Amino acid sequence: MVWDYDLETRHTGIDQDHQEVVAFLAAFLKVLDSRHDDRVPGALAMLYDRIAKHFAYEERLMVDRALPATAAHTGAHRSFLDDIRTHAERVATEGSTEAFRQWAHGQLVSWFRAHIKAHDLALAQALNEPGPTRG
Ligand SMILES: [Fe+2]
Ligand SMILES: [Fe+2]
């Protein structure tokens, strides 16, 4: 997976964080494709931690600006982390099965791209609008 212009939200902090997550995703897929199966659980754990850190960052931005209607966005974060955890548990017991490889190259990557378009773009737009003025 590579970073492309399509994924830009125009919020500097979010874009920088997304680029880092994409780098972690690419590094994880490289380990998976290298067929060093013993390194896959560790690489997935690192990716999980980086994604969790990114979600916490976005959620902090929402709270700081008291943005309304963020439940769907944070709910999407939770269910994605749950999905990664489920696959991490499976890979720890079953190893890198073909189904796991398909999930990693398919859903894992496409979810992240789709999430940016479905939720992060709107968040970035709201954050880039001037905040409420006082007086
Ligand atoms: Fe998000
Ligand atoms: Fe994001």
Q: What is the CA(23)–ligand 1 centre distance, in A?
A: 17
Give the pLDDT mean for 54-81. 94
Q: What is the CA(120)–ligand 2 centre distance, in A?
A: 5
Which residue in this structure is represented by tokens 């709910």?
75
Q: What is the CA(77)–ligand 2 centre distance, in A?
A: 9
pTM of the shown model: 0.93
Q: What is the mean pLDDT of the chain?
A: 93
Residue 80 has pLDDT above 70, yes or no: yes
Q: What is the CA(7)–ligand 1 centre distance, in A?
A: 12
Q: Return the ligand number nearest the Cα of 113.
A: 2
Q: In whole angstroms, what is the distance from residue 6 CA to residue 92 CA?
A: 34
Q: In whole angstroms, what is the distance from residue 71 CA to residue 74 CA?
A: 5
Tokens of 116: 């940016």
Classify residue 6 by its DSSP letter: G
Per-residue model confidence as pLDDT tens digits over 94-130: 999 999 999 999 999 999 999 999 999 999 999 998 8
Give the pLDDT mean for 52-69. 93
Residue 71 has pLDDT above 70, yes or no: yes
Decide: 65 and 124 in contact? Cβ < 8 Å.
no
Give the pLDDT mean for 8-29. 96
What does CATH list as the number for 9-128?
1.20.120.50
Give the pLDDT mean for 82-92. 97
Give the pLDDT mean for 32-53. 96
- Residue 38 contacts by C-beta under 8 Å, 6 or more apart in sequence? none
Q: What is the CA(96)–ligand 1 centre distance, in A?
A: 27
- Please tell me the predicted confidence (pLDDT) of residue 133: 52
Which of the four pLDDT bands, split at 50, 70 and 90, describes residue 132? low
Q: Return the ligand number nearest the Cα of 77.
A: 1
Q: Return the ligand number nearest the Cα of 72.
A: 1
Q: What is the CA(35)–ligand 1 centre distance, in A?
A: 31
Domain boundaries defined on the chain: 9-128
